[in-house]
């Protein structure tokens, strides 16, 4: 008698893709995500019983479980085929419990790619559920639940508004954004100058721009050097040809895919992961049905299977030539000191013979773009370095040295497939210049510059920094950033992320009351402990037992020490237009506002303007602290929109003694608003 088998996955698309690789004796059903979880309405963790979690069936999953139980009863054997990571392992465990599966009747299967070979091999290598991985996911869930459910009510109380949240990963990420904004706010530009000389090549009409290789601090020095140069001969003192190799980049991890998709395709991390999930689970291709196009998308490994490596090398040899295939010893290697979760491979195409061009118009445009990016990066990673020839001409004028360079690609290597935007090629035409030539000077130009502040975080840069600091894991980068935006703690303007007034208020409480939770090292150490649980080195409850007492004490202390912080108080001389009551200042999603204290009987509200005691440089009215529509704080004229003056930095009452323009506070300095003036003073008590 032929056995009837049941395969359970999370996604209907994944079920459709897998079904075509298995025979008629296999039924494939999707759970559509988790089936059991901690309850939403309460903590769901028995602290008195050694932090035992109380799992319940997720609302709306009753019918799914009923259908699964019915199918499991009919089947001779059940395969749990959820995703190949900790969360997938936990889903399989909860399925085995919810369905009451007998240990002898089910196994766990995993595959890094949804292909016929991978699916068939997974069934041959079916195994027991890895309880270490389940416990690692359980520990993360419990720790995060304790942080979120026990700190969030404190935020509600202190800020006087609901729907605020704290989180182990989200709070430290918020602090990183806040710290960067403070750095930028305190930054004072430093002046520097450059000098260039346009020199005419002997016997030719063309000129080449040469750069002076010298640090120049001020305009006076620059003008002095220029005067000397105008009396000097420009002699070619050296000509050098050198070469540089640019190694092929490693194939994508979750982090590098999110970063590159952001910079090259302008995709948010969330969008990138959604499209990658579709490509992994399977895309409907005419004549082939559902085809899984890429390997699993949540990984921090750059490893590639031996089979895939051999396949892509053969592809490169046939399409570009053997001279393009990289020697293993010269391939780029991952950072040795980095902790890698090497359970699966880098993100790559499942079949290198499915070229992106063949999918154009078959899959969506966004899917095509992302697949093309993954495909080209993977193929490029197995190709030789690009060889660049650099030609440098050095010119001496008196005591000063000028240089100009040009470069050209001698051998494209991986750049025949994959090009990185930063890899610029200098295109100066330096032909016809010989050593000891005296070049005629057409023009000498001095130019003033100012140092730039640290850049604002973009989603791409934030993901990179989170990974570098060990904050979160591949599956958490995109959801963390999305949650901060959803809570209105941060806002995105163009590509830059800014902390909102609400986000800053929440961060101030977290920094004051829970310094450990927002400590980068603490968060990274917790991730290492979770890794240790997954590897079987640490018992999960030991981690929770050691973590919770400190959190509990900090919450008790915060309830007392933060009790005096008030975010709702009376506004002087501001009265309700409906009932005449003295209005109060409240804190809302987009910052502070004035409201009637008789709410809900009286629902009157109006904007709150905090005057800073400075007059508008444009019209002479009061400058007030305002909040943008996206929640970002700034200083503007109270008469907006009649007067559109605004400044991101707080103004002071005095004007610049050198140029007369308004001055602002940056860190512990008062600086002129005009960078070209550059006047700075120490901050005083009056400012």
Mind telling me the catalytic residues? 296
Peptide bond just before 537 cis, omega within 30 deg? no
Dihedral angle sign, alpha carbons of residues 145, 149, 154, 155: positive
Q: How far is CA 141 from CA 145, 421, 438, in A?
A: 6, 39, 73
How far is it, in rounded angstroms, from Cα 69 to Cα 596?
A: 56
- CA angle, corner 269, sides to 375 and 367, nearest 5? 40
Strands of 633-637's sheet in order across: 610-615, 622-627, 633-637, 646-647
CA 9 to chain centre: 29
Q: What number of CA atoms fall less than 13 Å from residue 40's CA on the CB side?
A: 3
Give yes or no for a contact between 499 and 305, defined as CB atoms under 8 angstroms apart: no
How far is it, in rounded angstroms, from Cα 313 to Cα 317?
A: 6
Provide φ and ψ at 478, rounded to 5°: -65, -45
Element (H, E) at 462: helix 459-468
What tokens were used for 76? 């001779």
Straight-line distance from the first to the last Cα atom of the chain, in angstroms, rounded to the nearest whole number = 89
Task: Find all residues with CB under 8 Å of 286, minimum gap 6, and list them.
Answer: 362
Q: Other C-beta atoms within 10 Å of 556: how many?
A: 10
Peptide bond just before 641 cis, omega within 30 deg? yes
3-state secondary structure 63-98: HHHHHHHHHHHHCCEEEECCCCCHHHHHHHHHHHHH
What tokens were used for 186? 């305190």
Q: Other C-beta atoms within 10 Å of 168: how many?
A: 26
Whose tokens are 């989603």? That residue is 459
Dihedral angle sign, alpha carbons of residues 189, 191, 192, 195: positive
Provide φ and ψ at 396, rounded to 5°: -110, 135
Task: Find all residues with CB under 8 Å of 290, minimum gap 6, and list them.
Answer: 13, 16, 17, 20, 282, 283, 284
Name the residue among 172, 126, 179 with its Cα closest to residue 147. Answer: 172
Name the residue among 394, 402, 398, 445 with its Cα closest to residue 229. Answer: 398
Burial level of 377, CB count in 10 A (0-12/13-18/19+)? buried
Dihedral angle sign, alpha carbons of residues 5, 7, 13, 14: negative
How far is it, in rounded angstroms, from Cα 297 to Cα 253?
A: 8
How far is it, in rounded angstroms, from Cα 57 to Cα 65?
A: 9
């Amino acid at each position: 008698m032929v056995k009837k088998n049941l395969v359970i996955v999370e996604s209907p698309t994944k079920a459709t893709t897998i079904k075509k690789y298995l025979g008629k004796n296999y039924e494939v059903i999707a759970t559509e995500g988790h089936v059991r979880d901690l309850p939403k309405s309460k903590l769901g963790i028995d602290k008195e019983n050694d932090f035992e979690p109380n799992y319940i069936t997720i609302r709306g999953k009753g019918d799914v479980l009923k259908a699964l139980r019915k199918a499991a009863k009919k089947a001779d054997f059940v395969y749990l085929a959820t995703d190949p990571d900790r969360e997938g392992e936990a889903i399989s465990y909860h399925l085995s419990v919810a369905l009451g599966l007998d240990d002898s009747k089910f196994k766990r299967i995993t595959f890094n790619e949804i292909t016929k070979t991978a699916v068939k091999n997974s069934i041959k290598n079916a195994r027991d559920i890895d309880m270490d991985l389940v416990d690692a996911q359980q520990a993360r869930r419990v720790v995060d639940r304790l942080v979120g459910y026990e700190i969030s009510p404190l935020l509600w109380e202190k800020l006087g508004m609901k729907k605020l949240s704290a989180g182990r990963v989200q709070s430290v990420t918020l602090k990183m954004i806040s710290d960067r904004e403070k750095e930028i706010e305190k930054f004072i530009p430093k002046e520097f100058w450059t000098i260039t000389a346009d020199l005419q090549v002997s016997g030719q009409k063309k000129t080449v721009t040469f750069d002076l290789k010298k640090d120049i601090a001020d305009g006076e020095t620059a003008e002095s050097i220029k005067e000397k140069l105008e009396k000097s001969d420009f002699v070619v003192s050296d000509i050098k040809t050198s070469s540089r190799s640019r190694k092929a980049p490693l194939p994508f991890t979750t982090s590098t895919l999110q970063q590159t998709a952001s910079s090259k395709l302008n995709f948010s991390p969330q969008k990138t992961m959604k499209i990658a999930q579709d490509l992994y689970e399977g895309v409907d291709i005419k004549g082939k049905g559902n085809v899984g196009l890429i390997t699993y998308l949540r990984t921090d490994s750059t490893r590639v299977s031996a089979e895939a490596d051999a396949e892509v090398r053969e592809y490169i040899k046939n399409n570009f030539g053997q001279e393009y295939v990289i020697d293993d010893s010269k391939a780029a290697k991952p950072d040795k000191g980095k902790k890698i979760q090497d359970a699966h491979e880098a993100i790559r195409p499942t079949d290198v013979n499915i070229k992106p061009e063949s999918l154009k118009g078959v899959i969506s445009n966004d899917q095509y773009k992302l697949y093309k990016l993954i495909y080209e990066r993977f193929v490029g990673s197995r190709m030789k370095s690009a060889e660049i020839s650099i030609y440098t001409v050095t010119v001496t004028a008196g005591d000063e040295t000028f240089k100009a360079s040009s470069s050209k690609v001698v051998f494209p290597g991986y750049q025949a497939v994959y090009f990185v935007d930063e890899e610029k090629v200098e295109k100066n035409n330096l032909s016809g210049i010989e050593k000891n030539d005296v070049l005629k000077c057409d023009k000498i130009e001095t130019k003033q510059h100012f140092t730039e502040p640290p850049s604002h975080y973009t989603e791409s840069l934030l993901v990179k920094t989170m990974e570098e600091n060990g904050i979160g894991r591949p599956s958490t980068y995109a959801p963390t950033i999305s949650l901060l935006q959803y809570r209105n703690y941060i806002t995105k303007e163009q590509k830059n992320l800014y902390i909102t007034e609400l986000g800053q208020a929440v961060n101030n409480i977290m920094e004051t009351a829970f310094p450990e939770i927002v400590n980068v090292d603490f968060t990274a150490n917790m991730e290492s402990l979770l890794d240790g649980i997954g590897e079987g080195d640490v018992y999960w409850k030991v981690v929770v037992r050691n973590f919770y007492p400190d959190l509990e004490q900090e919450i008790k202390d915060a309830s007392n020490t933060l009790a005096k912080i008030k975010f709702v108080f009376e506004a002087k001389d501001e009265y309700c237009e409906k009932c005449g009551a003295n209005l109060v200042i409240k804190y809302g999603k987009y910052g502070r506002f004035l409201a009637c204290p008789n709410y809900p009987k009286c629902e009157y509200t109006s904007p709150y303007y905090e005057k800073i005691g400075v007059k508008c440089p444009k019209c002479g009215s009061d400058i007030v602290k305002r909040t943008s529509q996206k929640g970002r704080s700034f200083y503007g004229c109270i008469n907006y929109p009649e007067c559109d003056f605004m400044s991101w930095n707080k103004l002071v009452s005095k004007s610049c003694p050198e140029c007369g323009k308004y001055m602002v506070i940056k860190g512990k300095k008062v600086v002129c608003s005009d960078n070209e003036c550059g006047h700075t003073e120490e901050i005083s008590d009056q400012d």
